[in-house]
Structures are given as C-alpha cells and as structure tokens.
C-alpha cells in the first residue's frame, strides 16, 4: 500500500508540474503578444489542474471512506506543487489580461517593437 501512496503522490506532482509549466509558458507567449499561444498554454494548464484535482479528490474520498492516506513528505511536496500550480495559473490569467491591455495601448499609440529580445 505504501508504494501506491507514492505513485499517487508522483501523479499529483506530474499533473501540477505540467500545469505550472504551461502557465509560465502562457505568460511568456503573452509577453510576445502571442495571445493564441498563451490561450493554448492556459488550456493545457487548465486540463492538468483538472487532472490534479481529480487525483486529490480520489484521495479525499478514500480518506472519507475510512481508508486513511499515509502522510509522507512526498505527499506534502505534491500538495505544495498543486498549490503553486493553482497560484501560477491564476497569476498567468492576470498577466495575459495585462499584456492584452498593453497591446491595445501600444496599437492605439502606434508604438512598435515594444517587446525586448
């Protein structure tokens, strides 16, 4: 049973890590005013967050059914990854919004080449 607990924790880490990475890539795309790319990355982040939540919900249901989850440092680490992924995704949504506003302003003012390499 111990091995199963680690497997679930690593599945959670993988899903959360994918979500966080995708959200960070969305920010990078938005910085380049590539809003299609940003939205595609955010879709991937959202799907990964949903998978992580599914895994977490299964653990909660198991605990509620009287089958306790063994708490170990890997599971704590996995939960931390999920929290960071959620926060990064929320921040990415805000950054994308801000970059969209910046693009509108620069277009309206006729400013080009605002993006630095």
For 64-91, b where at least 16 C-beta lie within 10 A, e where not — what string?
A: eeeeeeeeeebbeebbebbeebbebbee
Per-residue pLDDT of the chain (117 residues; tens, 9 = 90+): 477 778 999 999 999 999 999 999 999 999 999 999 999 999 999 999 999 999 999 999 999 999 998 889 999 999 999 999 999 999 999 999 999 999 999 999 988 877 665
How is 9-49 classified by DSSP, letter by letter? HHHHHHHHHHHHHHHHHHHHHHHTT-HHHHHHHHHHHHHHH
What is the structure's pLDDT at 56?
94
Q: 80 among the known binding-site residues?
A: yes
Residues 19/55, Cβ–Cβ less than 8 Å:
no
Strands (E), 23-115: none
How many angstroms separate the CA atoms of 85 and 82, rounded? Answer: 5
What pLDDT, on the 0 to 100 scale, is given for residue 70?
Answer: 86
Task: Please pick, among 53, 77, 81, 97, the residue that the annotation labels catalytic.
Answer: 77
Q: Clarify whether 77 is annotated catalytic.
A: yes
| Beta carbons within 10 angstroms of residue 112's beta carbon | 8
**Domains, the chain:** 2-109 (1.20.58.80)
């Amino acid at each position: 049973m111990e091995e199963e607990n680690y497997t679930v924790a690593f599945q959670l880490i993988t899903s959360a890590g994918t979500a966080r990475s995708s959200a960070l890539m969305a920010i990078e795309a938005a910085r380049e005013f590539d809003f299609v790319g940003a939205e595609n990355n955010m879709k991937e982040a959202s799907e990964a967050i949903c998978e992580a939540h599914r895994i977490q919900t299964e653990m909660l249901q198991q605990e509620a059914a009287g089958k306790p989850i063994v708490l170990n440092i890997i599971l704590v680490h996995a939960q931390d990854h999920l929290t960071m992924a959620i926060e990064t995704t929320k921040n990415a949504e805000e950054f994308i919004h801000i970059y969209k506003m910046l693009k509108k302003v620069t277009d309206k003012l006729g400013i080009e080449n605002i993006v630095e390499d």
